[in-house]
Amino acid sequence: MIKVIIIDDEPLARGIVREYLEEHLDIEIVAECGDGFEGVKAISTHKPDLLFLDIQMPKITGFEMLELIEEKPSVIFTTAYDEYAIKAFDINAIDYLLKPFNKDRFEKAIEKWKATRHPIEDKQIEAAAAVIENDNQPQRVVIKLNNKIKIIPFNEILFLEAAEDYVFIHTAEGRYMKHKTMIFFENALDKTQFVRCHRSYIVDVQQINRLEIYEKDSHVAILKSGAKVPVSKSGYSRLKLVLGV
Amino acid sequence: MANNLLSSGKFLLPFLISWGIWIIFHASFIYWSDFDLSIAVVDSLIFNVTLASICFLQLFIMQFYLPKREKTIYIILTGGIIALIVTFTSSYILMLLFKGDADYISFITKSNPVRIGIAFLLSACTSMINILITTLETQKENVLRKHEAEKLSKEAELYDLRSQLQPHFLFNSLNSISSLAGSKPEEARNMIQQLSDFLRGTIRKDNAQLIVLREELNHLNLYFEIEKVRFGHRLKTEIVFDEECAEMKIPSLLLQPVLENAIKFGLYDTLDAVTITINAHKQNNDLIITVTNPFDNQTSQPTKGTGFGLNAVQRRLYLLFSRNDLLQTQSENNIFTTTIKIPQPK
């Protein structure tokens, strides 16, 4: 049996996918979810082969939800927003169904999946998610923390620290690990507030209490929270530029 | 200069009357200079009718050609030429007519410079009055046109600011209908009906038009009903208004973007059921409308960014009422409140 999960915040929209799937006796709907939080849980429980996924949903978008999943299934997007189509194909989605879609169109998507069955690709999801965030969405980052999902608005970030493939996000509440690159954050964050002060650090300038000389050619930023952030020579000149000194 | 005294028609009568008076004046002058009445009348008629005809011709030409600059030189030059032609032609004719009267012939010869002067002044005056009045008319027209253009651009802006139908609202609704068509055809029909009524209301309304609150609320209720079909039990709405407000006036579709915001931040920012309320009451002859929706202050910052997208509503209120204080927002305890004050027409 092929396991499928439908994730959409509108019950009727889930209904139509369910109805179209009825004839496919080899496909079983193992779960239906109304938002991304339920989606993450259901995916880790059922390990589905295929997702039907809406993009605009409460709290976290479909793209953000995909970021949180480790073993990614194949994805067919169902949405009324055609502006996300290109991004959806970028992350190697099977297909992109524009609402409303008829049965023929739906069948084509299923056939396409049966022909390839490729899962969604990890590395480009963040780019897709960034597109939505630019689209007047609140600026934030979504993190999976044990069994909970944590949403961190960008303005709660004190500083970021690079570590191999990960970035540690430091907030007043603690430190969170996110599988993203420094370049992503450098581009996504407001450049007048967040400065790449070091190869491995991005700091919120509003959090800086003072700058001290550390060694020859390097400084250290002391934040209001007391945390210390290294500042390189080139980072120091970038900081001075933003601070206007 | 297509616009001219001749085309306006108003000018013809004063033109003829002035010339008539001048003809009588001219004749009287010659009569008092000890010439026969017949001579005086014929002299005046021949001289002035020729002059008037040529001035008239001049106006006619000016209708098609008038230099943009060098107007003065043009007037002096044409005035001079006209004066010379009119004086010598009319004098020649008069001399032919009265060649037996030696006194009169010598009078004509002597008076020629004066006649040239008079002809010059009269033709120049006609041209100048023509230019003056034409310029004034053009200016008046320009002011009118400018006013018209301003009105048009204001209307265009109002049209832009008026809630535009959100395409994804339409497509999501159509998707719901498509879903209902399979399982509950009767409900699908009902939703098509509601969506049609809603769309009709959106298309029909005039931008600056004021409608009664009852009508606006009926329209918004359709919107709510459609959204309720889409979101099921998650969306609850409450519309409360005093009976005395029902007939008060409100710009059509003003509240639509406010509700879209309420739904966007209410439904997309929380996972629970959401209640959106609209409350209308009267205060000092103003209509006060309050819209509330829950939001999550952890994940959305209503004061930042789009400011809940209410700028368009604010701008529209400004264009309609020239006031910037009609829209207020506040957020408290995870409830976002939008208050709109609508002054009533006197």
For residues A95 and A111, give the distance between their C-alpha atoms in angstroms, rounded to a whole number. 10
Say how far residue B228 (Cα) sits from the centre of its chain.
42
Question: What single string gives the DSSP state of each residue in A127-183?
Answer: HHHHHHHHTTPPPEEEEEETTEEEEEEGGGEEEEEEETTEEEEEETTEEEEES--HH
Chain A residues with beta carbon closer than 8 angstroms to that of B177: 100
Least CB–CB distance from A10: residue in B183, B230, B271: B230
For residues A7 and A62, give the distance between their C-alpha atoms in angstroms, rounded to a whole number. 8
With an 8 Å Cβ cutoff, are B172 and A59 in contact? no
What single-letter DSSP state applies at residue A82? G
Question: In the structure encoding, which two tokens stand for residue A44, read together?
Answer: 């880790």
Least CB–CB distance from A13: residue in B179, B267, B300: B179
With an 8 Å Cβ cutoff, are A151 and B298 in contact? yes
For residues B234 and B237, give the distance between their C-alpha atoms in angstroms, rounded to a whole number. 10
Question: What single string gives the DSSP state of each residue in B17-61?
Answer: HHHHHHHHHHHHHHHHTT--HHHHHHHHHHHHHHHHHHHHHHHHH
∠ at Cα A223 (A222, A228), nearest 5°?
50
* pLDDT attached to residue B309: 62
A213 min Cα distance to partner chain B (Å): 36
With an 8 Å Cβ cutoff, are B182 and A136 in contact? no
* pLDDT attached to residue A169: 92
Neighbours of A216 (CB within 10 A): 6
Residues A4, A21 contacting (CB under 8 angstroms): yes
Gyration radius from chain B CA atoms: 39
Neighbours of B189 (CB within 10 A): 13
Chain B residues with beta carbon closer than 8 angstroms to that of A99: 171-172, 174-175
* pLDDT attached to residue B302: 47
Query: What residues form DSSP beta bridges with A33?
Result: A7
Which one of A12, A22, A59, A193 makes the best mutation probe of the B interface by having the most chain B beta carbons within 10 Å?
A12
For residues A73 and A61, give the distance between their C-alpha atoms in angstroms, rounded to a whole number. 17
User: pLDDT digit of tens for each residue in chain A (245 aa)?
Assistant: 899 999 999 999 999 999 999 999 999 999 999 999 999 999 999 999 999 999 888 888 888 898 888 888 999 999 988 777 777 777 778 889 999 999 999 999 999 999 887 777 655 555 555 555 555 445 788 888 877 888 888 888 999 999 888 899 999 888 888 888 888 888 888 888 899 999 999 999 999 998 888 888 889 999 999 899 999 998 998 998 888 87
Helix (H, G, I), strand (E, B) or coil at B299: coil
Question: In the structure encoding, which two tokens stand for residue A133, read together?
Answer: 């965030």
List the one residue out of A194, A196, A218 whose CA is nearest residue A206.
A194
Chain B residues with beta carbon closer than 8 angstroms to that of A173: none
Question: In the structure encoding, which two tokens stand for residue B188, read together?
Answer: 């699908």
Residues A227, A157 contacting (CB under 8 angstroms): no
Residue type, A177: M
Q: How far is CA B300 from CA B16, B128, B270, B336, in A?
A: 79, 70, 10, 11
ipTM of the complex: 0.71
Helix (H, G, I), strand (E, B) or coil at B332: strand
Residues A170, A161 contacting (CB under 8 angstroms): yes
Question: In the structure encoding, which two tokens stand for residue A211, read together?
Answer: 């700058």
B271 min Cα distance to partner chain A (Å): 6
Query: What residues form DSSP beta bridges with B338?
Result: B291, B329
Query: Which residues, in sequence order, are CB contacts of B327 under 8 Å at separation 6+?
Result: B310, B313, B314, B317, B338, B339, B340, B341
Question: What single string gives the DSSP state of each residue in B80-126?
Answer: HHHHHHHHHHHHHHHHHHTTT-HHHHHHHHHHHHHHHHHHHHHHHHH
Say how far residue B249 (Cα) sits from the centre of its chain.
24
Q: How far is CA A87 from CA A63, A83, A179, in A?
A: 10, 8, 19
Residues A6, A30 contacting (CB under 8 angstroms): no
* pLDDT attached to residue A108: 94
Minimum CA–CA partner of A140 in chain B: B299
With an 8 Å Cβ cutoff, are B298 and A153 in contact? yes
For residues B3 and A190, give the distance between their C-alpha atoms in angstroms, rounded to a whole number. 60
Minimum CA–CA partner of B297 in chain A: A153
Minimum CA–CA partner of B301 in chain A: A138
For residues B246 and A94, give the distance between their C-alpha atoms in angstroms, rounded to a whole number. 53
What single-letter DSSP state applies at residue B233? G
The pair phi, psi for residue B244, each rounded to 5°, is -70, -15
Least CB–CB distance from B271: residue in A58, A101, A140: A58
Mean pLDDT per 10-residue interval, chain B, length 346 residues? 55 83 90 87 90 86 75 85 90 87 86 90 87 86 87 74 75 93 92 92 72 91 92 90 91 86 81 90 93 78 50 83 88 89 89
